[in-house]
Structure 1
Amino acid sequence: MTLKNTITVLTLLSGIFYAKCQTDTALVTSYRDKVMIRLNLDTNLEKYIISEKGTDDSKMELSINNKTKTSVSIDYRVISATLSFSPKFIPGNNEDDLKGKSSYTDLSFRFFPKRFIQTLYYKKVKGFYLENMKDFIPDWKETDAYLQFPDLKVLSFGGTTSYVLNKNFSAKSIYTHSEWQKKSSGSWVPYLDYDISFFTNTINEVKNKEIQYKIGGNMGYFYNWIIRDKVNVAPYLSLGIGGQFSSSRQENEKKENEQFVTLKMEGGLHVGYNSDRFLFGGRISFNTYTYQKSGETVENNNLYGLIYIGYRFAPPKVVKNTYDKIQKKIPVL
């Protein structure tokens, strides 16, 4: 496998909810004006499951040959930059010969205007393989090559608009580590999710394309349990229902339009340690949605895992002065 270096610049734009650096209130400590360097180890597992209604005999499990990535992040105020790569020595990072090559790109922007959380994202996934080979070839062995779909690509643009009902709950303490919630608190969070996805594939020189539009309403509950001032455990779970509209075409054939009702479930758990300078922890989350299509059940599952360790410090004067000059011209920063 060739070592890949991917530079991703994430901009996290926040409303000025706590304006001063490390301003203590009764419930929250802010680290907005501290520089944070963070080392991350993370992975994304993307899978599509297609099965006929009422039977698993013809179920297809299409997965990506994802890599465990190591990344270094630098955060200051609303700016975050990340350099990531996939080391060969990590188990599972050198199986291209068996599973084919896959690529996964994920770029997201998150805003925090008061109690709203606005997320926008772009995701590109290419290169899948048939994970359940034994269901189709009983004498298949794990040392044999998997059936591969190198041209299957999914390109998505979307977002979520959320509202935190409890004003004493700090979403930033979980998402960006730019705050620390001092007392345990939870909140119901209703949110709307929406996206457009483009599926393309080429089989035997025949091109297939499908466009999906999805929108859904969800209700989730988040809880941030603070243990001995510096340790937090933050689980969450949400359920939702929505609609999907798809348009597909194979080469020059007539376009087919379909509508579906979708069900969605999302959840996760974050465990972390925080001090004014050091922080570390881990996070695992899942996202799954399903719908019925022409007698088949289609599921899309995503599993994300992260381990991180970080360090905060006061910004060098040249960094602070440069940012302040830019902020005068762009007040939202």
Structure 2
Amino acid sequence: MKVAIPSFLFFFFPLISFAQEVNDEKTDHYLEEDKKKISVVGGLSYLHNSFGLLYEHKVFRLRPNDAFYTEFFLRYRWVDVSFSFAPKLTHINNDDPEKGKSKYFNFGFTFFLAPKIRQYVYFSQVKGLYFQDTKEFMRLLYGNDYNEEGYLQFPDAKYRSFKGETTYLWVGNKKDYRSFNNMTYQPLKDVFVVSTGLFYQYNILSDIGKTVYLGETFSDSDNSPSKDFRIALRSGGGIQKKIKNNWYAIVEVYPELYYAKLVGENFHEFNVGIFSNARIGYDNGKWFFGGGAQLSWVNSSNENFYSTTQWLFRAGIGFRFNSPTFVNRNFDKIDNILK
């Protein structure tokens, strides 16, 4: 029995190597054909988000009212773009008059600087916020007997966020990891990746001078914006599993160490958190659909100014079509220069 086990292993390992070579050949063939195709995805996302506002050593939550918005992805070769907004024609938002109206706009793109280094750049803006902890805030000002119902609204408030992430793949490469980004790449095989990423973010909260409360409008001339930056070191892994009949599933989990600071203020903190992503979908190479959830959690407690729990749910459908010949020709020239 002691002799049989090593013999079996010597027989089995060459088969693993051969299977990997076959998979690599299929992947290379797919990527070569994929250079001539454009992937387009349209979908709907639901976002539950809140922003901390520090006052009298206590954190109060600012929230946007709109939760739903449309989302689009577009990819051609190494150009991977996403943008989203909430168009009026779709009527997908159900604004609560007591909380005001909110508008979303997001734009970002992803690309690989090298086979193992992925770069992510993103800009988002939400306009129109309300004070979720209005009653608690008013009781802090006027005493515990205050019982008026309603929300402080900041109709002109803008929360702009500039985000980026540079990720190094310890296990895997861009051929394996591309399909983790979004649905624009077809998952071809079972994949396991391990990575470390540096996430960085700069935020600006501005235009909070105008306030609406119980139907009355108030203005404050002192309207200086609040700015902060945040850095997180994320390390973790992801699994992509192919299921029969072109179905697949993806799960990613990344614990993180977090640092944040208010610009111009003597206030900063260290924290811990987690970023996770899961998706299930169908992809036959020509058209595809899927849905998933994303969680970004940073030590959610009232003692932490930068604590947050952000849920994102999305579902989308897309297709691939052949790109025009002149586009292929021009991008071939660019690819030859970048080599």
How high is the TM-score relative to the length of structure 2? 0.73
1:161 alignment counterpart: 166
Offset at residue 224 of structure 1 (A): 0.8
1:272 alignment counterpart: 281
1:185 alignment counterpart: 191
Offset at residue 76 of structure 1 (A): 2.8
Matched residue SS, 1:234: strand
Separation in 1 of the partners of 2:325 and 2:82? Answer: 16
Alignment pair present for 1:226 and 2:239: no
Alignment pair present for 1:152 and 2:153: no
Offset at residue 269 of structure 1 (A): 0.9
Offset at residue 163 of structure 1 (A): 1.5
Alignment pair present for 1:120 and 2:128: no
Q: CA RMSD in A?
A: 3.4
> What runs of 5+ residues in structure 1 fail to find an aligned partner?
1-22, 249-255
Which amino acid is the alignment partner of residue 111 of structure 2? F
* Structure 1 residues 73 and 221: CA distance shift in structure 2, 3 A: closer
Offset at residue 229 of structure 1 (A): 5.3
Offset at residue 148 of structure 1 (A): 0.9
Output aligned runs, 1:237-248, within 5 Å: 237-248=253-264
When the two structures are aligned, how many residues end up with a matched partner?
292
- Counterpart among 326, 333, 336 of residue 328 in structure 1: 333
Separation in 1 of the partners of 2:251 and 2:334? Answer: 39
Alignment pair present for 1:101 and 2:101: yes
Separation in 1 of the partners of 2:109 and 2:82? Answer: 12
Alignment pair present for 1:284 and 2:300: no
2:9 alignment counterpart: none
Matched residue SS, 2:25: coil
- Residues 223-270 of structure 1 show CA distances to partners (whole Å, capped at 9, x for unaligned) of 11211151111111111113223224xxxxxxx333321323211211
- Residues 141-196 of structure 1 show CA distances to partners (whole Å, capped at 9, x for unaligned) of xxxx5321224332222311112222267221132444333332222211111122
* Structure 1 residues 163 and 83: CA distance shift in structure 2, 3 A: closer
1:18 alignment counterpart: none
Q: Of the two structures, which has the highest relative contact order with CA contacts closer than 8 Å and spacing of 6 or more?
A: 1
1:131 alignment counterpart: 132
More helix by share: 2
Answer yes or no: is the 8 Å Cα contact 2:84–2:104 preserved in 1. Answer: no
Matched residue SS, 1:305: strand
Separation in 2 of the partners of 1:296 and 1:276? Answer: 46
Matched residue SS, 2:225: strand
Matched residue SS, 1:174: helix
Separation in 1 of the partners of 2:298 and 2:228? Answer: 13
Query: Rg larger in 1 or in 2?
Result: 2
Offset at residue 138 of structure 1 (A): 5.4
2:60 alignment counterpart: 60
Separation in 1 of the partners of 2:261 and 2:50? Answer: 21
Answer yes or no: is the 8 Å Cα contact 2:63–2:131 preserved in 1. Answer: yes
Separation in 1 of the partners of 2:317 and 2:254? Answer: 27
- Counterpart among 198, 210, 214 of residue 230 in structure 2: 214
2:317 alignment counterpart: 309
1:36 alignment counterpart: 39
How high is the TM-score relative to the length of structure 1? 0.74
Which amino acid is the alignment partner of residue 43 of structure 1? Y
* Structure 1 residues 180 and 36: CA distance shift in structure 2, 3 A: closer
Which amino acid is the alignment partner of residue 316 of structure 2? Y
- Counterpart among 275, 298, 308 of residue 300 in structure 1: 308
Answer yes or no: is the 8 Å Cα contact 2:298–2:308 preserved in 1. Answer: yes
Identity score, percent: 20
Offset at residue 132 of structure 1 (A): 4.7
1:11 alignment counterpart: none
Answer yes or no: is the 8 Å Cα contact 1:88–1:94 preserved in 2. Answer: no
Answer yes or no: is the 8 Å Cα contact 1:263–1:291 preserved in 2. Answer: no
Separation in 2 of the partners of 1:34 and 1:167? Answer: 24
Offset at residue 134 of structure 1 (A): 6.3
* Structure 1 residues 157 and 325: CA distance shift in structure 2, 3 A: same
